[in-house]
Chains A and B, each alone.
Chain A
Amino acid sequence: MTTGVRYETPATVQEAAVLMAQFQATARILAGGTDLLVQMRSGRQNPGVIVNVKHIDEMMTIREESDRFIVGAAMPCMKVINHPGFSRAFPGVVDGANLIGSVQVRGRATMGGNLCNASPAADSVPAVIAAGGIAIVQGPQGSRRVAVEDIPVGPGKTSLAPGELLVAFEFAKLAQRTGTAYLRFTPRTEMDIAVVGAGVRITLDQEGVCTDAKVCLGAVAEKAIVVPEAAQALVGTRVDEAALENLAKAASAAARPITDKRGTKEFRIKLAGVIARRAALKALARAKEQQ
Chain B
Amino acid sequence: MAKHHVTTTINGETVEFLCDTKQSLLDVLRNQLYMTGTKEGCATGDCGACTVNMDGTIVCSCLVLGVEAEGKSIQTIEGMAKGSELHPLQQKFLEHAALQCGICTPGVLVAAKALLERNPDPTEEEVRYWLAGNLCRCTGYNKIVEAVLDAARVMRGASNA
Contact = CB atoms under 8 A, between A and B. Distances in A.
A and B touch in the complex (CB under 8 A): yes
Interface in B55-74: 57-60, 62-65, 67-68
Contacts of B51: 104
B58 A4 contact: no
B21 interface: yes
A40 B62 CA distance: 12
Nearest to A39: B44
Interface residues of B, number: 32
Contacts of A4: 1
Nearest to B54: A107
Contacts of B58: 103-104, 107
Contacts of A50: 21, 65
A181 B88 CA distance: 38
Contacts of A190: 129, 132-133
B148 to A, nearest CB: 14
Contact of B111 (A2, A5, A104, A108): A104
A143 to B, nearest CB: 27
A52 B68 contact: yes
A141 interface: no
A101 interface: yes
A105 interface: yes
A2 B58 CA distance: 29
A30 B48 CA distance: 21
Interface string A1-26: 01111110000000000000000000
Contacts of A76: 57
| Interface size band for A | 20 to 34
Contacts of A227: none
A7 B64 CA distance: 14
Contacts of A40: 22
A252 B21 CA distance: 45
B90 interface: no
B21 A34 contact: no
Contacts of B1: 3-6
Interface string A66-78: 0000000000101
A102 interface: yes
Contacts of B8: none
A108 B67 contact: no
Given A4-B1, A38-B44, A103 B133 contact: yes
Given A103-B130, A191-B133, 18 more contacts: A3-B20, A5-B22, A7-B4, A7-B21, A7-B65, A32-B63, A33-B63, A33-B68, A41-B43, A41-B44, A76-B57, A101-B45, A103-B58, A108-B59, A108-B60, A108-B64, A190-B132, A190-B133
